């Protein structure tokens, strides 16, 4: 097999680990199994990451980057604050429904990291990245809509993300209409906290109609 530089091999191994563990769980993510997933020698995994904790750290960082990018891609460019927030929430919900294994994997890794102080900072960075990204998007949308916010953007972001985490976990346990309805209420509550003045619900995760 041709030599592959470490800078190229590392993301390949991280992706192989994510694919494997999202499918079969964290316990299945041995270095041997990850190596087999990519079709390389087990020593390659040890050489690239050193320890399993280093590998888990890289996996958490990659999952964080993917989620942040999903939020950024969902950011609409329209001037309507309520519509924009609903579209962003809908994009996150679709991501959960399309790749539930990745969300479940992050929950598993979160539990593991909370019991390993060496990984606490990775979790803190993950939470901070999501909150700051969401806060920036909320701030940008409010600015385009030329409307003041009744609460700081980061407060709105934390409120929404905390609620979404709970709904995501419920969806993984019980996939029914109540979780989707809960998302509609979460968006309405976030809008009310932002000073929207009402808490009406709407179709949060439906596909928006094409604009003329």
Supply the CATH number for residue 17's domain.
1.10.10
Same domain as 172, residue 86: yes
The structural domain count of the chain equals 2
- Classify residue 127: in a domain, yes or no: yes
Q: In angstroms, rounded to a whole number, what is the distance separating the alpha carbons of residues 37 and 44? A: 12
What integer is the mean pLDDT of 9-18?
A: 93
Same domain as 95, residue 11: no
Same domain as 160, residue 107: yes
Q: Which domain holds residue 14?
A: 1-50
- Classify residue 206: in a domain, yes or no: no
CB-based contacts of 168-177 (< 8 A; 24+ apart in sequence): 168/96, 168/103, 169/107, 171/96, 171/97, 171/100, 172/100, 172/103, 172/104, 172/107
| Half-sphere exposure at residue 67, Cβ-oriented, CA atoms within 13 angstroms | 29
Same domain as 161, residue 89: yes
- Cα distances from 210 to residues 7, 189, 207, in angstroms, run 41, 27, 9
The pLDDT of residue 6 is 64
Supply the CATH number for residue 165's domain.
1.10.357
pLDDT band at 206 (very low <50, low <70, confident <90, very high): very low
- Classify residue 20: in a domain, yes or no: yes
The pLDDT of residue 2 is 52
Find out whether 60 and 126 touch, Cβ atoms under 8 Å. Answer: yes
Same domain as 66, residue 168: yes
Instruction: State yes or no: pLDDT of 22 exceeds 90.
Output: yes
What integer is the mean pLDDT of 49-58?
A: 87
Same domain as 29, residue 106: no
Q: What is the largest CA-CA distance in the chain?
A: 63
What integer is the mean pLDDT of 60-70?
A: 86
Same domain as 11, residue 61: no
- Classify residue 5: in a domain, yes or no: yes
The pLDDT of residue 201 is 42
Same domain as 69, residue 38: no
- Classify residue 42: in a domain, yes or no: yes
pLDDT band at 205 (very low <50, low <70, confident <90, very high): very low
- pLDDT per position as a tens digit, 176-204: 889 889 999 999 999 999 996 544 444 44
- pLDDT per position as a tens digit, 130-169: 899 889 989 988 998 888 999 999 999 999 999 999 999 9
Same domain as 109, residue 22: no
Q: What are the residues whose beta carbons fall under 8 Å from the beta carbon of 149, sequence distance 6 or more?
A: 138, 139, 142, 156, 194, 195
Instruction: State yes or no: pLDDT of 119 exceeds 70.
Output: yes
The pLDDT of residue 69 is 84
Same domain as 175, residue 85: yes
- Classify residue 210: in a domain, yes or no: no
Instruction: State yes or no: pLDDT of 97 exceeds 70.
Output: yes
**Pair of tokens at residue 35:** 């190596």
- Classify residue 198: in a domain, yes or no: no
- Classify residue 208: in a domain, yes or no: no
Same domain as 150, residue 173: yes
Same domain as 82, residue 141: yes
Closest-CA residue to 56 (of 83, 36, 26): 26
Q: In angstroms, rounded to a whole number, what is the distance separating the alpha carbons of residues 61 and 82? A: 31
């Amino acid at each position: 097999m041709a030599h592959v530089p470490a800078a190229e091999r590392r993301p390949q191994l991280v992706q192989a680990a994510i694919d494997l563990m999202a499918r079969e769980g964290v316990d299945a993510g041995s270095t041997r199994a990850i190596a087999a997933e990519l079709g390389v020698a087990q020593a390659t995994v040890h050489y690239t990451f050193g320890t399993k904790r280093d590998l888990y750290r890289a996996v958490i960082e990659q999952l964080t980057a993917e989620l942040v990018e999903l939020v950024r891609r969902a950011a609409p460019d329209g001037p309507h604050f309520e519509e924009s927030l609903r579209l962003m929430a809908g994009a996150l919900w679709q991501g959960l429904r399309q790749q539930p294994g990745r969300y479940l994997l992050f929950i598993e890794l979160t539990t593991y990291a909370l019991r390993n102080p060496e990984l606490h900072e990775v979790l803190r960075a993950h939470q901070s990245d999501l909150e700051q990204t969401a806060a920036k998007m909320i701030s940008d949308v409010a600015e385009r809509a030329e409307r003041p916010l009744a609460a700081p953007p980061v407060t709105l972001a934390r409120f929404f993300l905390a609620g979404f985490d709970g709904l995501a976990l419920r969806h993984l346990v019980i996939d029914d209409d109540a979780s989707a309805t809960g998302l509609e209420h979460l968006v309405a509550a976030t809008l009310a906290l932002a000073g929207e003045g009402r808490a009406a619900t709407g179709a949060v995760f439906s596909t928006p109609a094409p604009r003329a």
